[in-house]
Amino acid sequence: MQAVETRWNTRLGMLQSVNDALRSGKLHEILLRRNELRYLNSIDCDLLEDIIKLLKPFDEATRHLSTEQTPTLHLVLPTKATLLRGLSIQDGGSAVMKEVLH
């Protein structure tokens, strides 16, 4: 993998971390201790999961195509086809995700 990750890869990791903390209840505990539970009201958990589902295949494709030891040019078109198929499946999701994909 390259030494410098692209910005969206880092954002995906952050979103996954927030989602994991939400699911486990840890985020609720932390915000309760800080008297900042109001921040949970602004989180749309379904949208958060939809965005993670949308970005995860791109992260996997980036990692798959960014090897240092072997050529990956032959993987570009099959990877693109896989990503496009995944996007068409995602198209059936929430209204916000439909807006993002169109």
Question: Does the residue 32 lie in any domain?
Answer: yes
Q: Is the pLDDT score of 4 beyond 60?
A: no
pLDDT band, very low/low/confident/very high, at 1 (cuts 50, 70, 90):
very low
pLDDT band, very low/low/confident/very high, at 91 (cuts 50, 70, 90):
low
What average pLDDT does this structure show over 78-82? 92
Share of the chain above pLDDT 70, in %: 89
Question: Does the residue 97 lie in any domain?
Answer: yes
Q: Is the pLDDT score of 8 beyond 50?
A: yes
Question: Does the residue 61 lie in any domain?
Answer: yes
Q: Each residue of 26-58: pLDDT tens digit?
A: 999 999 999 999 999 889 999 899 889 888 999
Full residue range of the structural domain in which residue 43 is found: 7-101
Domain count, the chain: 1
Question: Does the residue 1 lie in any domain?
Answer: no
Question: Does the residue 41 lie in any domain?
Answer: yes
Q: pTM score, two decimals?
A: 0.75
Sign of the Cα pseudo-torsion (68, 73, 75, 78, in order)? positive
Question: Does the residue 2 lie in any domain?
Answer: no
- Of the candidates 27, 30, 85, 35, the residue with the CA atom closest to the CA atom of residue 61: 85
Question: Does the residue 48 lie in any domain?
Answer: yes
